[in-house]
C-alpha cells in the first residue's frame, strides 16, 4: 500500500478500516473506539478489556498480529496512555492499539508473555513514565539507575529552564566583566568593526547636516559641495585629535610570558650547572654540593624578585648578570660559527692526509683541532 | 614403587559458575555497553545486558523543540545512518502536517539514504573483522570506501557526521552541480571495494570457521524477539519495509530483498553484503531518473504548526526498523516523540541468541547485531 499524506483530520465518526472491522467481529461486545492516523488504523480500548484484546490480536487467525514493533507511553497530564504498534507478517497489516488509564492508578497488564520483545519496551516505559506493567517477569529499570525517584518522561518533570543559564546568566557575566573593566581602568576590548560603522554613521550625519544647512542658505551647488567638503575636513580633524589622545591610554604591551619563562629556566639551569661544577672541583661531598646549589638558587630567585619589584626596571633580565649565560646567539652568528668549524675540519683533514696518517689518526687530529677551536672560542 | 597417576575427571570436581563482566568500556562492545556473563568453563549459561550509559533524554528534549530543531536529534540517535533517521522523522512530520515534498527532494533523500546504508554496512564489515580476529585488514578496506562516501556527503551537506540536511517539506539546499557524476564515481569505486571485501571476508577460513552455523535463528524466534532488518532477513523471512509498506519513492525503484537460509552469523553478513549492491542499484536508478525542479514544498510557515494527531512512521534503516511515533497537540512542538531504535529491539535478543555458546562467540554474535548504542539508549 502507498500512503498518501492527504487525509489528516478525518471527520467524526470514523468508519472502521478493514483491520478494525476484524477486531469488531472477533471481539463482540467489547467497546472499541476507532481512530485513524495517516498510516495506521487506531483502536482505543478500555483497560478492563485490554488483556483480552491483546490476546485476540496475537492469537486470532484473521488478525495474527505477531510482531510488536513499538510500545510507547504517552503522558496526558491527568491520564497516561500506552500505545502498541502491531504488525502481522502473515497478512501484512498493521494497527495501533491504545489504552488509557488515570495517572493515580498507573497499572496495565504486561504483554511480554505474548510478545517477548515487549520485555525491554515495558521496562523502559515503566522507569520513564512510572507505568506499572503487572506480571512483568523482570521489572528492573533498563536505562536509568535504580531508585531514581522520579519519572523523566512525564510532563510534570520539565526540563531545566534553558533561558536561566543561556540568556540571563550570560548577561550577568557580561555585566560583571564590564564592571570589572571599568573598576580596573582598562578599556574593554573594542570592536573595530562596530567603531568603523559608528564613524561612517557620524560622517554621514555631518555630510547631511552640512548639505541641509547649505541648501537652507540657498547656496549654489558648487558652494554646497565646498561647504560639505569643509565640514568633512573639520570632522576628520576632530576625529584625528581624539585618536591622538587615545594611544596614550593603551596599557603597555604585555611581555611574552612564555619566552620569559623559558629564559628564566635556562638561566636557572646554567646556574645549577655552574655551581655544581665549581663545587665538584673543590671536592665537596654530594650533600654539601646539593646545599650549595640550593643556596645559589635561593639567591638567584631573591635577585629576580628584587628586579621584578623594581618599578619599570628596564629589561627584567639582564644578560650581564653573573648567573646568566651568554646572550642567546642569533642565527647569523650560529651559521658563521658552523662555517668556521667546517673550514677547520676540512683544513685539519687535508693536513692529516698530506702527512699520510691512518684514518684513525686523521679522526683524532680533527677532533683535537675542534677542541682547540672551542677553547679559543671560550 | 609405582605411583598412582590418575587424571581427575570433571565429574569428580566440584565446579561453580562464575560471573564475568564485559565492559562498559571494551573494544568488543561497540560503544558503552556492559554485559554480565555467567560462564560454566567456556560455556555461557546466562547473559545480562546492561544498557543506559548513553541515555541522554533524546525523546524528552525534542518535546521541547520546534519541529525543525528536532532533526538534529535524529542524527544523534543512529549516528551511522543519519540520513535514514532524518528521513523517518521528516516523513512523520510531513504525514502529520499534510505536506508533500517535491519529487526532486524525494529522490535526493532516497539517494542519500541508500548511500548511507552502504556506508553503515561498510562500518559493520570493518568492525566485525576486528571482532573476529582479522585485525586491521578488513577495517582498512571497508574504511577506505566509507571515506569516499563521507566525502560525498560532506560535499552535499557540509558535514561529516551530523548532516541535518533533510527538512519537513524537502531538503535544506540543492545538490552540488556535479553530484550525478561524483556519485557515480563513488559508487563505481565503492562497488569494486565491496567485491574486494567479499573476496576477503566471505571465503576466509577464519570467517567460515567462526561464523557458519553460529547461533542460528528461526523466523518464528526472530518475530517473537522483535528482530528487524538484516537480522530478520537472515532467517529467510523476506521482509523489507521499503517493499512491504513502501514510503517515499521506493515503490518505483527496482531492487531485490536478499535473505539468508538459517539465520546464523554468516547469513547476516551475506545479507548485508548483498544489500550494499542493491543499494547501489537503487542509487543508480534514482540518479538516472531524478527530475529537475524545486527541492522544497511551497507555502511553509517559518514556525511549523502541526495539526493534532498521531503517526507512527517507520523506515528501513541499515539496522532494521527505525520508527518515530509522533503525537501532536496542534502546537509548534511535538507532544510525544518516541524513537523506536532498531538496535534496541535487536539487542534485547542478545541473551536468547548467546546462551549455550562459547564466550568468544558471544563477541561475534554481539558484533553481528550491528548495534549503535546511541540508538539503544537514546
What residues form DSSP beta bridges with A133? A108
With 50 as the cut, is the pLDDT of residue B258 above it?
yes
Which residues in chain A are contacts of B32 at CB distance < 8 A?
Answer: none
With 70 as the cut, is the pLDDT of residue A312 above it?
no
Mean pLDDT score of chain B: 88
What residues form DSSP beta bridges with A184? none
From CA B324, how far away is CA B69, in angstroms rounded? 15
Residue among B21, B174, B172 at smallest CA distance from B86 = B172
The listed range with the strongest mean pLDDT (A23-27, A178-182, B231-235) is: B231-235
* DSSP-derived 3-state class of residue B33: coil
Torsion angle in degrees (nearest 10) through CA of A194, A197, A198, A200: 160
CB pairs under 8 A between A and B: 111
Give me the pLDDT at residue B117, please: 93
Band (pLDDT 50/70/90 cuts) for residue B27 is: low
Pairing of strands A94-102, A41-45: parallel
Read off the C-alpha cell for A95: 494497527
DSSP A167: I
B61 vs chain A: nearest CA distance in angstroms? 8
Is A80's Cβ below 8 Å from some Cβ in B?
no
Facing A70 at nearest CB: one of B237, B338, B378? B338
From CA A21, how far away is CA A27, in angstroms rounded? 10
Q: In the predicted model, what is the mean pLDDT of residues B228-246? A: 90
Give me the pLDDT at residue A63, please: 85
More confident residue, A169 or A322: A169
With 90 as the cut, is the pLDDT of residue A62 above it?
no
Fold of B15-377: Cytochrome-c3 Hydrogenase; chain B (1.10.645)
Band (pLDDT 50/70/90 cuts) for residue B160 is: confident
Q: In the predicted model, what is the mean pLDDT of residues A330-352? A: 83
A47 membership: H or E segment, kind and range: helix A47-59
For B338, which residue in chain A has the nearest alpha carbon?
A72
Q: Are the Cβ atoms of A67 and B345 closer than 8 angstroms? A: no
Band (pLDDT 50/70/90 cuts) for residue B284 is: very high
Q: In the predicted model, what is the mean pLDDT of residues B93-102? A: 90
Is A122's Cβ below 8 Å from some Cβ in B?
no
With 70 as the cut, is the pLDDT of residue A6 above it?
no
Band (pLDDT 50/70/90 cuts) for residue B282 is: very high
Give me the pLDDT at residue B29, please: 65
Read off the C-alpha cell for A195: 567603531
CATH code: domain A18-134 is 3.30.460.80
Q: In the predicted model, what is the mean pLDDT of residues B76-102? A: 91
**pTM of the predicted protein model:** 0.67
Which residues in chain A are contacts of B35 at CB distance < 8 A?
Answer: none
A73 membership: H or E segment, kind and range: strand A67-76
For chain B, where are the alpha helices, taking DSSP H only?
Answer: 71-75, 82-97, 103-132, 137-157, 179-201, 205-211, 219-225, 230-233, 241-244, 265-289, 342-348, 350-354, 359-369, 373-377
From CA A48, how far away is CA A313, in angstroms rounded? 90
Band (pLDDT 50/70/90 cuts) for residue B316 is: very high
With 80 as the cut, is the pLDDT of residue B98 above it?
yes
Residue among A103, A134, A98, A111 at smallest CA distance from A59 = A111
B361 vs chain A: nearest CA distance in angstroms? 23
From CA B124, how far away is CA B139, in angstroms rounded? 9
Q: Which of A243-247, B154-158, B369-373 has the lowest mean pLDDT?
A: A243-247
Rounded to two decimals, the ipTM of the complex is 0.87
With 70 as the cut, is the pLDDT of residue A247 above it?
no
Amino acid at each position: 500500500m502507498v500512503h498518501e499524506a492527504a487525509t489528516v483530520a478525518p471527520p467524526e465518526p470514523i468508519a472502521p478500516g478493514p483491520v478494525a472491522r476484524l477486531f469488531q467481529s472477533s471481539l463482540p461486545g467489547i467497546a472499541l473506539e476507532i481512530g485513524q492516523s495517516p498510516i495506521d488504523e487506531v483502536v482505543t480500548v478500555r483497560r478492563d478489556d485490554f488483556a483480552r484484546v491483546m490476546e485476540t490480536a496475537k492469537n486470532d487467525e484473521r488478525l495474527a498480529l505477531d510482531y510488536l514493533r513499538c510500545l510507547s507511553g504517552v503522558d496526558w497530564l491527568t491520564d497516561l496512555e500506552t500505545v502498541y504498534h502491531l504488525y502481522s507478517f502473515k497478512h501484512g497489516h498493521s494497527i495501533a492499539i491504545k489504552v488509557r488509564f488515570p495517572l493515580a492508578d498507573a497499572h496495565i497488564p504486561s504483554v511480554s508473555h505474548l510478545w517477548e520483545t515487549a520485555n525491554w519496551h515495558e521496562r523502559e516505559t515503566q522507569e520513564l513514565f512510572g507505568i506499572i506493567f503487572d506480571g512483568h517477569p523482570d521489572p528492573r529499570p533498563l536505562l536509568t539507575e535504580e531508585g531514581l525517584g522520579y519519572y523523566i518522561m512525564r510532563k510534570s518533570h520539565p526540563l531545566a529552564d534553558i533561558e536561566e543559564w543561556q540568556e540571563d546568566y550570560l548577561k550577568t557575566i557580561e555585566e560583571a566583566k564590564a564592571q570589572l573593566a571599568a573598576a580596573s581602568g582598562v578599556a574593554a576590548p573594542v570592536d573595530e568593526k562596530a567603531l568603523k560603522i559608528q564613524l561612517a554613521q557620524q560622517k554621514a550625519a555631518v555630510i547631511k547636516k552640512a548639505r541641509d544647512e547649505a541648501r537652507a542658505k540657498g547656496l549654489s551647488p558648487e558652494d554646497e559641495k565646498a561647504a560639505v567638503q569643509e565640514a568633512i575636513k573639520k570632522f576628520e580633524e576632530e576625529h584625528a585629535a581624539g585618536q591622538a589622545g587615545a594611544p596614550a591610554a593603551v596599557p603597555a604591551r604585555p611581555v611574552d610570558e612564555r619566552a620569559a619563562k623559558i629564559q628564566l629556566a635556562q638561566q636557572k639551569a646554567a646556574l645549577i650547572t655552574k655551581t655544581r661544577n665549581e663545587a665538584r672541583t673543590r671536592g665537596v661531598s654530594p650533600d654539601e654540593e646539593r646545599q650549595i646549589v640550593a643556596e645559589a638558587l635561593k639567591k638567584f630567585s631573591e635577585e629576580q624578585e628584587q628586579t621584578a619589584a623594581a618599578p619599570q626596571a628596564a629589561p627584567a633580565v639582564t644578560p650581564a648578570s653573573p648567573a646568566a649565560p651568554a646572550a642567546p646567539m642569533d642565527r647569523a652568528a650560529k651559521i658563521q660559527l658552523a662555517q668556521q668549524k667546517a673550514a677547520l675540519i676540512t683544513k685539519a683533514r687535508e693536513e692529516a692526509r698530506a702527512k699520510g696518517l691512518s684514518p684513525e689518526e686523521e679522526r683524532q687530529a680533527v677532533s683535537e683541532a675542534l677542541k682547540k677551536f672551542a677553547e679559543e672560542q671560550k | 614403587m609405582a605411583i598412582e597417576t590418575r587424571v581427575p575427571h570433571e565429574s569428580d570436581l566440584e565446579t561453580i559458575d562464575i560471573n564475568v563482566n564485559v565492559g562498559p568500556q571494551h573494544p568488543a562492545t561497540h560503544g558503552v555497553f556492559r554485559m554480565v556473563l555467567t560462564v560454566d568453563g567456556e560455556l555461557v549459561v546466562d547473559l545480562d545486558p546492561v544498557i543506559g550509559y548513553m541515555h541522554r533524554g533524546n525523546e524528552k528534549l525534542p518535546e521541547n523543540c520546534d519541529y525543525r530543531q528536532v532533526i538534529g536529534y535524529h542524527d544523534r540517535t543512529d549516528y551511522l545512518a543519519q540520513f535514514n533517521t532524518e528521513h523517518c522523522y521528516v516523513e512523520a512530520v510531513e504525514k502529520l502536517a499534510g505536506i508533500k515534498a517535491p519529487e526532486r527532494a524525494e529522490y535526493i533523500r532516497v539517494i542519500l539514504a541508500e548511500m548511507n546504508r552502504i556506508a553503515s554496512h561498510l562500518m559493520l564489515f570493518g568492525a566485525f573483522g576486528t571482532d573476529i580476529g582479522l585485525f586491521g585488514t578488513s577495517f582498512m578496506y571497508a574504511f577506505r570506501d566509507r571515506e569516499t562516501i563521507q566525502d560525498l556527503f560532506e560535499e552535499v551537506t557540509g558535514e561529516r557526521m551530523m548532516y541535518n540536511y533533510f527538512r519537513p517539506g524537502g531538503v535544506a539546499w540543492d545538490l552540488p552541480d556535479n553530484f550525478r557524476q561524483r556519485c557515480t564515481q563513488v559508487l563505481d569505486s565503492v562497488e569494486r571495494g565491496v567485491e574486494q571485501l567479499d573476496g576477503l571476508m566471505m571465503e576466509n577460513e577464519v570467517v567460515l570457521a567462526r561464523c557458519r552455523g553460529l547461533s542460528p535463528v528461526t523466523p518464528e524466534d526472530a518475530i517473537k524477539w522483535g528482530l528487524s532488518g538484516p537480522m530478520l532477513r537472515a532467517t529467510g523471512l523476506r521482509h523489507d519495509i521499503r517493499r512491504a509498506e513502501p514510503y517515499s519513492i521506493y515503490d518505483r525503484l527496482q531492487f531485490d530483498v536478499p535473505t539468508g537460509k538459517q539465520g546464523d552469523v554468516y547469513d547476516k553478513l551475506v545479507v548485508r553484503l548483498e544489500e550494499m549492491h542493491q543499494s547501489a542499484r537503487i542509487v543508480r536508478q534514482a540518479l538516472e531518473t531524478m527530475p529537475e525542479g524545486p527541492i522544497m514544498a511551497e507555502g511553509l510557515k517559518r514556525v511549523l504548526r502541526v495539526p493534532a494527531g498521531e503517526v507512527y512512521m517507520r523506515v528501513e534503516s541499515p539496522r532494521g526498523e527505525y520508527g518515530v511515533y509522533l503525537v501532536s497537540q496542534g502546537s509548534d512542538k511535538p507532544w510525544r516523540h518516541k524513537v523506536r531504535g532498531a538496535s534496541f529491539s535487536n539487542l534485547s535478543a542478545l541473551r536468547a541468541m548467546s546462551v549455550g555458546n562459547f564466550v568468544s562467540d558471544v563477541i561475534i554474535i554481539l558484533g553481528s547485531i550491528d548495534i549503535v548504542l546511541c540508538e539503544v539508549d537514546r
